[in-house]
Structure 1
Amino acid sequence: MTIDFAEILLARQRISASVLRTPQREARALSARLGVPVQLKCEHHQTTGSFKLRGATNAVLSLTRAQRDAGVVAASTGNHGRALAHAAAAAGTKAVICMSRLVPDNKVQAIEALGAEIRIVGNSQDDAQVEVDRLASEAGMTPVPPFDHAAVIAGQGTLGLEMLEDAPHTTTVLVPLSGGGLLAGVALALRTLKPAIRIIGVTMENGAAMQASLAAGAPVMVEEVPTLADSLGGGIGLANQYTFSMVRDLVDEVVLVSEVEIAQAMRAAYFEEGEVLEGAAAVGIAALDAGKVTLAGPAVVLLSGKNIDMKLHRRIMAGENPDLAAEARHD
């Protein structure tokens, strides 16, 4: 299954009053190192600190009155839960967010602060999804999946419109990849408006579910393990309807980066660009600085979120070994 480009255009109209059009600017140090212009799409400046607000808002505003009255429920590694809690509160709708024990405490607390009910279930997003399915079946709540949902994908796709409007000569775009909602939506927008553009998904080596699924030719289960890019954790769902096929058909390449490369990119973003990024948001910079992507022309790197525990951020900025990420969750 896929969605139509028209749904992205409609999503932009629907969410325009509820989300920010985030800035896009040149990364001067990175551009100088690579010898080509590189711009940063600063979606980590979004209201809830990540791109997820676009998809969650579009999904909530697309619901019927009966669906909103029933309340919304979702599994999340943190940022989708925060975005859905925010969108639900704005719409006067109850939200229940189900998360695994691997979700950092700072993200759990931020969601609670928005008034959502929290359910901590198991050690993976797949475990949390079991509770979502139960609440939908037994309590009649309305599920709003974090990525494999037409309205969510369309909302994320509005980023692709903005990126090309602000940099029409772009030849390559690098986008963080997890379940694929962000990449699928952005890729559809970009491929429709500029068919020859090069689209690269970037994810971490530890538990790259979409990459494993693409290699297998179908969705597969992957063990969820600790990573600095915790927002990219979780599976894509064995019954995946949209994102697997869209990423497969629209994206040119998927690149994997290591924990060390992610940490180095977070430091580069902070010390060179003055930007605080969570690990998931730094993977595009990591791929470029590690030489895993070669650019022949202007590029845009999507910075997807900033919702990192600042204790962990300080440790990474101080040069601490990133393989201590699992321990850092429990500081």
Structure 2
Amino acid sequence: MRLTPVKQSPALSELAGGPVWLKCEHHQETGAFKLRGAANAVARLGDVAGVTTASTGNHGRALAYAARQVGLPAVICVSRLVPENKRAAITALGAEARVTGASQDEAFEEARRLEREEGFALIPPFDHPDIVAGQGTLGLEILDQLPDAATLAIPLSGGGLLAGVALAAKARRPEIRIIGISMERGAAMAASLSAGHPVEVEEVETLADSLGGGIGRDNRLTFALCRDLMDGMILLSEAEIAAGIRHLAREDGETVEGAAAVGAGAVLAGKLRARGGPLVLLLSGGNIDPALHREIVGETS
């Protein structure tokens, strides 16, 4: 596990009206924050036949990595919407990327079968206490590096990242603001919070593919934690997400995937400003297809 760096973004700071810092978690092992939760969950396992999950890519890659470290087989169930580069990264770590269905919910059915019939431990990507606790280390790490941080902008999907970071950060600094950011297309947590209970949404293609998938109709932890701990939520269009990817590449020299660019996209769109102190944008992952990144940034191969 790496201690990932923070760096100030001069251009975003000017746009946001105050200091903006980038927490470069896309430099983590496996290219995303997910290793924190996966490694914590695997470390706490007993005797199992293997591990499984359903994933939009980054959690599956992290679980494959953590399982390989302790010699456990891993079967990662993914939907047809998961990009090929993320499936390939899973298999490169010695795990099986099993394509099942057209949504994360459908992929979960196969993971549950493996748990039920073959003795695999099912480690979900977000709604699990060990996952939330592992992601929470990011909140403590950010405040160790930037003790006066006033606002944390967190990519929001199933809520494991936001819940863990918010729990840890608010325990140390109760006044800190937690802003969740997601895409307009298929944001399950946003729809669930609006409805007042977990709901299903249609899973569609988006540049922020790591933020896709449902939160589970039987969500036990993250729905309530996000509802109670989040101070605001921002939704972005696909064009705004692309602008974030492009800006971070051109101005800050950082290659990130769509989910990691939502904080920058929100600042660029005028939807997020620094208030009362430093604003920290969590760059959650860098596992973007290289060809897609070149297309968005406007580079030629």
Structure 1 residue ranges, 4+ long, deviating more than 2 angstroms after superposition:
32-35
Match of 2:168 among 186, 189, 201: 189
Match of residue 10 from structure 1: none
C-alpha distance in 1 between matches for 2:149 and 2:28: 22
The aligned amino acid for 1:303 is L
Q: How does 1:265-280 map to 2 (within 5 A)?
A: 265-280=244-259
Matched, 1:172 2:151: yes
Match of 1:95 among 52, 74, 92: 74
Match of 2:51 among 72, 81, 84: 72
The aligned amino acid for 2:39 is T
Match of 1:310 among 290, 294, 297: 290
C-alpha distance in 1 between matches for 2:219 and 2:168: 21
Post-superposition offset of 1:292:
1.0
C-alpha distance in 1 between matches for 2:272 and 2:251: 20
- Percent identity of paired positions between Structure 1 and Structure 2: 60
Match of residue 4 from structure 2: 22
Q: How does 1:178-257 map to 2 (within 5 A)?
A: 178-257=157-236
Match of residue 62 from structure 1: 44
Name the SS for the 1:136 alignment partner: helix
CA-to-aligned-CA distance 1:146-176 (integer Å, 9 cap, x gap): 0001001100000000111111111111000
The aligned amino acid for 1:305 is G
Name the SS for the 1:48 alignment partner: helix
Match of residue 143 from structure 1: 122
In the superposition, the TM-score normalised over structure 2's length comes to 0.98
Matched, 1:43 2:22: no
Matched, 1:124 2:103: yes
C-alpha distance in 2 between matches for 1:34 and 1:238: 37
Post-superposition offset of 1:315:
0.6
CA-to-aligned-CA distance 1:18-75 (integer Å, 9 cap, x gap): x1010011111111222311110000000100000000000000111x13xx100000
The aligned amino acid for 1:57 is A
CA-to-aligned-CA distance 1:167-202 (integer Å, 9 cap, x gap): 111111100000000000000011111111111000
Name the SS for the 2:216 alignment partner: coil
Post-superposition offset of 1:247:
0.4
Alpha carbons 2:16, 2:272 under 8 Å: kept: no
Gaps of 5+ in 2: none
In the superposition, the TM-score normalised over structure 1's length comes to 0.89
Post-superposition offset of 1:298:
1.2
Gaps of 5+ in 1: 1-18, 321-331
Q: CA RMSD in A?
A: 1.1
Name the SS for the 1:185 alignment partner: helix
The aligned amino acid for 2:45 is L
C-alpha distance in 2 between matches for 1:119 and 1:266: 29
Aligned pair count reads: 299
Match of residue 153 from structure 1: 132
Name the SS for the 2:29 alignment partner: coil
The aligned amino acid for 1:219 is P
Matched, 1:299 2:279: yes
Alpha carbons 2:51, 2:122 under 8 Å: kept: yes
C-alpha distance in 1 between matches for 2:147 and 2:125: 29
Alpha carbons 2:180, 2:230 under 8 Å: kept: yes
Post-superposition offset of 1:127:
0.4
Alpha carbons 2:135, 2:161 under 8 Å: kept: yes
Post-superposition offset of 1:319:
8.4
